[in-house]
Amino acid sequence: MLRLAAAAFALSLSSISCADEPPAPGSGPVLLIGNKGEDTVSFVDLGTGKELDRSPTGRMPHEIAISPDGRQAAVVAYGGKTIDLFDVATRAKLKTIDLTPNEGPHGIAWLKDGRIVLTTERSQSIAVVDPVAGAVTASIKTDQQGTHMVAVSADRNIAYTANIASGTVSVIDLAAGKKLRDMPVGGRPEGIALSPDDLTLWVGDLEGSRVQVFDTATYDKLGEVKTGGIPIRVAASPDGRWIVTSNLQAGGLTIIDAATRQHVRDVTLSGSQEAGQVTILFSADGKQLYAAETGADVVAEVEIETGRVLRRLPAGKNGDGLAIAVPPKLQSDQ
């Protein structure tokens, strides 16, 4: 007992000492994690696996988007109606943008022209934001229930939203600022991803242990693939070879051959729903995949070729939304 108490005391001193020191510079790309259980965002150096800093956010931060130059991060406050902008290098909050009349921001993407587009679930809409002006420039109604996740085409002209309770996917013309149609997909769609060539849209079904694939030109269903239980997120590899689902119930992944639309294998990470596995994100080279184990307050780094967990990275309470920022210096070195 004395040894335990001494260890705990030493740990508390170490924590205090670390808190007084300035954040160390990063040596690699930075993983950002939205900690929805404590209203913070973590900055983790992927070179060392160490947390650089943790900064306050709005209520219930979920998804995160990185600016095209890698310098800024936008973090949604799902429990409110704001997004926070952070400087990635200094981890300082730059500004908070009010999205009124839009509420409940969740899925988010930073467009190449500098605008930000995000779903605003409680107002059944998509908001388009000018981050420089700090203002909403357009609000586009989906009029669907549970407008949660968003996927945006490579040319940044078309957005697709997964509407969980309505069982639909809305197709939004961002250039014209209007909804084109609602695709009935059935079940409870949440996870959504576009192939890198924009030709196919992959939609997970929370109820059906399946992911469906649609032709983006005709909106026809091309097929479906069985997954592990509750495929809550869907991600496409950067080279377009793989489609991966994050299976909450199974605590693992399903890997799908995108070209043949065939199930390749299931990968066990925690193997438990208690781990709360939600968000998944590929590294830029597609060799690793990051899976937020929200219930365990960690992020698993997975080698996609073998399915092996390489390490588990620190997160805050209920770390969920993920993004990777590559500092400009590293971008120029690549």
Whole-number Å distance between alpha carbons of 32 and 315: 9
Q: Is 135 within the bounds of a domain? A: yes
pTM (predicted TM-score): 0.90
Looking at residue 156, its pLDDT comes to 87
How buried is 12 (Cβ within 10 angstroms: 0-12 exposed, 13-18 middle, 19+ buried)?
exposed
How many domains, in total, are found in the chain?
1
Q: Is 123 within the bounds of a domain? A: yes
Residue 279 confidence (pLDDT) above 60: yes
Bond from prior residue into 101 cis (ω within 30 degrees of 0): yes
pLDDT in tens, 123-174: 999 999 999 999 999 999 999 999 999 999 998 899 999 999 999 999 999 9
Residues 6+ apart with CB under 8 A from 273: 229, 230, 248, 249, 250, 251
Domain of residue 82 covers 57-184
Looking at residue 329, its pLDDT comes to 59
How buried is 289 (Cβ within 10 angstroms: 0-12 exposed, 13-18 middle, 19+ buried)?
buried
Q: Is 21 within the bounds of a domain? A: no
Q: Is 168 within the bounds of a domain? A: yes
pLDDT in tens, 182-231: 999 999 999 999 999 999 999 999 999 999 999 999 999 999 999 999 99
Alpha helices in the chain (DSSP H): 2-20, 328-333
Sign of the four-CA dihedral 46, 49, 50, 54: positive
Q: Is 261 within the bounds of a domain? A: no
Q: Is 114 within the bounds of a domain? A: yes
Looking at residue 206, its pLDDT comes to 98
Please, are residues 62 and 321 in contact by the beta-carbon 8 Å criterion?
yes
Residue 235 confidence (pLDDT) above 50: yes
Whole-number Å distance between alpha carbons of 151 and 180: 15
pLDDT in tens, 31-53: 999 999 999 999 999 999 999 99
φ, ψ of residue 102 to 5 degrees: the values are: -85, 140
φ, ψ of residue 332 to 5 degrees: the values are: -70, -25
Nearest CA among 79, 66, 151, 77 for reference residue 112: 66
Looking at residue 327, its pLDDT comes to 72
Q: Is 20 within the bounds of a domain? A: no
Whole-number Å distance between alpha carbons of 33 and 56: 12
CATH code of the domain covering residue 177: 2.130.10.10
Q: Is 117 within the bounds of a domain? A: yes
